[in-house]
Amino acid sequence: GAASTQPSFGLVCLGSVARKAGADVTVIEASAFDLGVDETFRQIAAIRPNIVGISSTTIGITSSGLLAERIKKELPATLTIIGGCHATSLPEETLAEFSSFDIAVFGEGEQTLTDIIARYELNTNALSDIPGTVTRSGSGVVRAAGRDMISNLDDLPMPDWSLLPGFPSAYRPSPARIKRMPCASVVLTRGCPNACTFCDRSVFGRQCRSYTPAYAVEMFKQLRYKYGVKEINIEDDTFIISKTRVEEFCNRLIADKVDIAWSCLGRADRAEPAMLKLMKKAGCWHISFGIESGDPEILRMANKNLDIRQMNEAVNNAKKAGMRSKGFFMVGFPKETPATIKATIELVRNIPLDDISVMQLTPFPGSELYAQAAQYGTFDRDWKKMNAIHSVFIPNGMTLAELDSARSAILSAFYSRPDVLLSQLLHVLRNPRLIPYFAKASLSLFSIIRNRNDGRNES
């Protein structure tokens, strides 16, 4: 009800690379502006481009296929490229399912897109062996060699924010993660060395790479002083993985007196008190942790490699540093039971978070769980339903109704706490511009809780 409408950082990076390669670039932010297939195609048809690149998650892949179908029907000469996490995980299957995609790009897209543009300028038929692509060959497909990950992210051109329509005032993040507007989102690291079974690491790999602190601070300065952005969400899961890099980044922001507020995500075992205090001094006021479950055995099976003690300690460290915190939780893990759900409810009743998000566990393509789900329960592989809200995976021993009720119960247990309600109220009073967005979020929350109670009454 009050979801993020932030632009895709990936599109800004790809657009900048395409411009450097000599292309005339237009970005259509279909997701952020909630554009359907018809309106998105109308904007594409007005441009009549030679190449259309579509970035898609699993939940959006069917709509992306319909969009490509419209393009091929009315602009048959246009080359259609599909990229993003879904195409990276299932490139052959994606081309087989959607006949209007000409090329699927897997992995990081910057160098591959540069090669596609260069080859297209020379000969539109010479696209079949570009590393990082799957292309059509007769009735089949051909997978080219993979491409090495970009080792030095500073070699990439600065993201071109001018490509975004209405930037920055037309976009906003979730109200829980903002206190100053306008706002932007960035990703400063790529790759994750952790092995959580529910995560897809196929696009950026397992080796963590990052922009240097100097490059990252320059990006912040450009957003602040060229575009008027006052707050930045750092969206990568591995931002605080390197203590020395975070410290240099913060010290540069402080030394250059960059007037910016920012938030980030982090792992509990990296949230050291001294580093959090330095982050707060540099403008960070909010940090989110992936907690997932309150049951130790669920965390062990998910390869989280964290325990409840570390979660509590990290949240307390953030609070002592003067930062607000949010916890991400999921329900429906393999071997989930009413008892494990109860453990999560007990955790959210006591852990000193300011906000939580609860999603249904979804075995996304590219994750370890995607291949193993059938061993642990019933898995509906309908890509259109994989939005982390619908329960597509139901673990053995539980029902769909129980999973839906569990999500509502966790939210209800947390947001009925007096200290949480007071924290939310104070945050809104300090930032009155957020009142309309918090009102929408509250209505959505109450709707979820009411549906749970209605279901209980009917049963």
Produce one character per residue of 302-321: b if its CB has 16 or more CB atoms within 10 Å, e if not: bebebebebbbbbbebbeeb
42-56, 84-98, 197-211, 263-277: least confident range? 197-211
Give me the pLDDT at residue 448, please.
63
The total of other beta-carbon atoms located within 10 Å of residue 146's CB is 11
Q: Are 447 and 408 in contact (CB under 8 A)?
A: no
Give me the pLDDT at residue 459, please.
41
Give me the pLDDT at residue 450, please.
64
- What helix, strand, coil percent values describe the chain, rounded to 5? 45, 15, 40
Between CA 201 and CA 434, with CA 189 as vertex, the angle to 5 degrees is 100
Q: Determine if residue 209 is left, alpha or beta; phi over 0 gives left, psi from -120 to 50 gives alpha, anything else beta.
A: beta
pLDDT confidence tier of residue 454, bands split at 50, 70 and 90: low
Query: How far is the C-alpha of 427 from the C-alpha of 421, rounded, in Å?
Result: 10
Q: pLDDT tens digits for 401-437? A: 999 899 999 999 999 999 988 888 887 777 777 676 6
Structure tokens given for 337: 């039971």
Cis amide bond preceding 157, omega within 30: no
Sequence-ordered strand ranges (E) for 340-422: 355-360, 377-379, 393-395
- Average pLDDT (56-71) is 95
Q: pLDDT tens digits for 65-89? A: 999 999 999 999 999 999 999 999 9
Query: How far is the C-alpha of 122 from the C-alpha of 119, rounded, in Å?
Result: 5
Average pLDDT, the chain: 90
Give me the pLDDT at residue 415, please.
92
Q: Are 129 and 144 in contact (CB under 8 A)?
A: yes
State the DSSP H helix or E strand holding residue 325, giving kind and residue range, or none if neither.
Answer: strand 324-331
Query: How far is the C-alpha of 143 from the C-alpha of 106, rounded, in Å?
Result: 10
Q: Is the pLDDT of residue 458 over 60?
A: no
Give me the pLDDT at residue 430, please.
78
Query: How far is the C-alpha of 10 from the C-alpha of 185, rounded, in Å?
Result: 10
Query: How far is the C-alpha of 229 from the C-alpha of 259, rounded, in Å?
Result: 10
